[in-house]
Every structure is written in C-alpha cells, then in structure tokens.
Amino acid sequence: MLLDFEHPEFSGCLRTILLGDSRGSPDKIGIMKPAKAILTLTIFCLVSATEPASANEFADIQPAARLQWWRDAKFGMFLHWGIYAIPGRGEWVQWNEQIPVNEYAKLADQFVPTNFTPAAWAALAKAAGMKYMVLTSRHHDGFALFDDGTNTFTSVKSAAHRDFVAEYVKAVRDAGLRVGLYYSPLDWRFPGYILPDIQRESAEAMRAQYHRQVKELLSNYGKIDLLWFDGEGTNWLSFGGEWKGAKWQKRPDKQNYHGGFSWQSDRVLATLRSLQPDIVINDRIDAPGDFHSREGWGALGDFDNEHPWELCLPIAGAWGYQPNRMPRPLKDYIQLLANVAGRDGNLLLNVGPDRNGKIDEPQAERLRQIGAWLNQYGESIYATRGGPFLPADWGVSTRRDKTIYVHVLKWPGEKLVLPAIPAKVVKATALTGGDAKFDQTTNQMEISLPEAAHAELDTVIALELDAPADSIPLLK
C-alpha cells in the first residue's frame, strides 16, 4: 500500500539497489533498445492519432451517475495477493528485506496455488455483506496476475500458467458482485522510479509498461467496475523525496516534484474513459479521480459529503499475507463500518490470502460475523448517506428516503438528546431490539431506550419522518 517515507535506512537501501547490484541493468529491466524504441514510438503515434489525446473531452460524463452504485454499496473486500504470499511477511517483503530482483523473481517458480478458485473469495465476500471486490492485479514488486504479452514475470508465463485476473473477474461476476482491480504503476525493478531524471530511460520504460498494462486490463476482461490505483503520481517518485548530493530527503508537505519526468496519466485517463466510460477510479494518479482514498485505522477522518471517499485498511496485520494474524473483536469492525457510513464514506476491508489463495479461518469467520450483522441491520448502512446529525461522542447517523438511522455507539446516559429537525418524527423503532421512545420539541429531540436493550455493538434506532431525510440540513 502507501510508501514508507520514513524508512530508517532509506538512503543506504536506495544506493544498494541502484549502485551496488548489476541486476538492475537496462536489458534486465525492460528498457528498449534504440531501434525498437523508434519502432514502438512510431506505432504509438499512429495509434494515438485514433485515440483521445486528453481526458478533458470525457469530463462531461456525469460522475454522480457513475458513482451511484459505489455509493450505495458502502462495503467492499480488498485482496492483496501475489508471490509475496509465499514468504508470508507482507506485500513489502522485497523492499523491506532488500531482496535482489533476480532472487525475488524465483518466487514465481513456486507460485502454484492448489485447490484454489476465486469463487471461494467471492462467496466469502458475499457472506460478509460486501458488494464489491478489489484484487491486486499487480503490486509494487511488478508480478502481474494477468497475461501481458511477452512479459514473463506474470502468473500466465510462470509456473502457475493461470490468468488469475480472468478467473477472478468471472467468479465475482457470477456472484453478482461488482468487479474491481488494483494496479500500481510503481515497479521496484525499475531504477527510474527512484531516480526518474538521471535514469530517465528506465522511468519511461516503466511508464510504457503502466500505459500498456492498464489498457490490457480494461480491454481483455469485459466490464470492470472499479480501478484502484496505488504507488503512482509524480509526487510519489523516489518515495516522495529528492536527492541532495548523496543524501535522500523527503519533500516538505505540499511541495511538488519539479523534475522532467511525467507519468502522462492524462493519457491513461483518456484511454480509460474511452474503453470503459462508466468505470470508477480513485484519486491516486496525476488526473482527477472519482473518489478519495483514506488509508489505515487512524485515517477515519471527518464527515465529508462533498467529496466521495473510501477508507481502506487491513483486517489484521499487513496487507499481504502474514500467518496467524488474529482479527480485532467484532465490535471494532461494526462500529468502524457505522462510523464510515455516518461520515458519508465507504469501507474497503482487506484480507491477504496465503500462497494457495486461502484466507485464514479466524479472519474469514470475522467477515461472516460482519455479514450476519448486516443481514439484520443492513438497511441502516446500504444505500444511505451520512447525516443529518454530524458524528459526535455518542455515535453517528445515516439516512435514506424518509428515515434517519441513529447509530448509538456509546450511550451518554438514560437519554440521547439530539438537535431539533425541520421534519416531524412519525415513529421511532429500535432495530436492534427494545421499546424506543422519543420526545420531539421545537428545541430538541430526546430518544430513550431501556438500558437492557442497549446493543453492545451498535444500537440502531430508525426515525421515520413525514419528509425526505435528505432535505434536512447537517446538524451538530
């Protein structure tokens, strides 16, 4: 996932990779020889003449309509899976342990999942109440789970001889879920990512791979509903820093990369919108995204109903597989889901399958428990928008049609006192059980419920109104 800008031995690690290992030679990282480059450039120019040159001409496609299914879905499954599952030390194992490129590539010879089908993932996601899925088609290590022509560092051209993206897309579609793919333009095999100006040819070869592979993913697998970018954007080049002499320094916040390299993501966006106009994308590219990505347990953030957003985080441990990582208590996930929905966002919860594609049973069981809760109280989450009561110590609220759902995560006492609303409450129902009562005046509204009926996970009280809930302004 996101880059570790504060690595304690960052500069030394970069020098080791860039200067101390001949495995990073141009021939081995895929930089084109001059004659081939000229031919490729000629073909590219001819193709470009028939393709959109800018994403601007697609700007009039209504983003709200494109996003509607995603906003209604609220809850999705993230899957980090690749050859890094073999050592089982997380998806950053190659970088963190400075494993040479050629040595790391040998893991592809061992990547032969047994007794595995992506249908098992889709079935679990459905049981968890998730409505969409996002699989890492290629992470920062460069190994692709799809066919990429003559590129041999893929699951198709290595020991598995399987196109896992194709299998995954079919399984998710068959399960009636929305299909998402993660893609990282960043590739640790290219020195040009670290030194994009000095190693310009390498950086441009990495960019060519990025453009080519995105086009393949959106051309070869039918409809893709969501493309989740990571590790891209010029401000992330060299891990968000610059070299001052022999020393690497992180760029100050809000200071942009000013070198000569560009990812040319406007071209990628134009191609993307041309091939699949309705696809939803996040904002981790140098081009406008449909939604913003927040990441990690500490990134819940504030209420925001003006900019669509999604919180992604791992259910336990790292994003990639680590054995015996136990999930948190069920309460943490239910309250997190309520907090996200009540802030008008989506939750993308990650699992990291092992080398055979199996998700550890304690994590799978926790997902099924979340699904069981959603099966009972999902009406207060799915297809809702946050508000009108802004998040407070007591909890959050969601709304849909003529109903406000009050999620009481921490009762302040015998009664919950809320601001007055410009609509009449017709009925109050405690979905989680008990006899809910309300007292509405022009100054405030009180909700009470017997203490014995206070739900440990989330007390959900539905307030039925005589007017549309979305007509009520946000209230503190």
Supply the CATH number for residue 421's domain.
Answer: 2.60.40.1180
pLDDT at 59 over 80: no
Q: Is there a domain that residue 403 lies in?
A: yes
What is the DSSP track for 370-414?
Answer: HHHHHHHHGGGTTT-EE-SBPPBTTEEEEEETTEEEEEESS--SS
H/E stretch holding 72: helix 63-73
Same domain, 301 and 432: no
Last residue of a domain, one of 352, 380, 408: 380
Same domain, 182 and 240: yes
Domain count for the chain, please give it.
2
State the average pLDDT for the chain. Answer: 89
pLDDT tens, residue by residue, 232-286: 689 999 999 988 889 999 999 888 999 999 999 999 999 999 999 999 999 999 9
106-124 as b/e: b if 16+ CB within 10 A: ebbeebebeebebebbbeb
Which distant-in-sequence residues (6+ apart) come within 8 Å of 92 by Cβ? 4, 84, 140, 318, 320
Alpha helices in 329-468 (DSSP H): 330-342, 361-377
Provide the pLDDT for residue 24. Answer: 35
**Cα–Cα distance for residue pair 401/383, rounded to 1 Å:** 10
Domain hosting residue 465, numbered range: 385-471
Q: Is there a domain that residue 236 lies in?
A: yes
Single-letter amino acid, residue 444: Q
Same domain, 326 and 454: no
Beta bridge partners of 313: 349
Same domain, 193 and 124: yes
Last residue of a domain, one of 335, 354, 380: 380
**C-alpha dihedral, 97 to 100 to 104 to 105, nearest 10°:** 160
Q: Is there a domain that residue 5 lies in?
A: no
pLDDT tens, residue by residue, 362-396: 999 999 999 999 999 999 999 999 999 999 999 99
Last residue of a domain, one of 380, 404, 428: 380
**Cα–Cα distance for residue pair 153/189, rounded to 1 Å:** 11
Same domain, 445 and 390: yes
Q: Is there a domain that residue 350 lies in?
A: yes
Same domain, 257 and 186: yes
Which distant-in-sequence residues (6+ apart) come within 8 Å of 446 by Cβ? 415, 416, 417, 418, 438, 439, 440
Residue 357 burial by Cβ neighbours in a 10 Å radius (0-12, 13-18, 19+): buried
Same domain, 171 and 302: yes
**Cα–Cα distance for residue pair 250/8, rounded to 1 Å:** 12
**Cα–Cα distance for residue pair 21/11, rounded to 1 Å:** 15
Q: Is there a domain that residue 1 lies in?
A: no
pLDDT tens, residue by residue, 92-144: 999 999 999 999 999 999 999 998 899 999 999 999 999 999 999 999 999 99
**Cα–Cα distance for residue pair 310/341, rounded to 1 Å:** 10
Q: Is there a domain that residue 476 lies in?
A: no
Predicted TM-score (pTM) of the model is 0.88
Q: In whole angstroms, what separates CA 347 from the centre of its chain?
A: 9
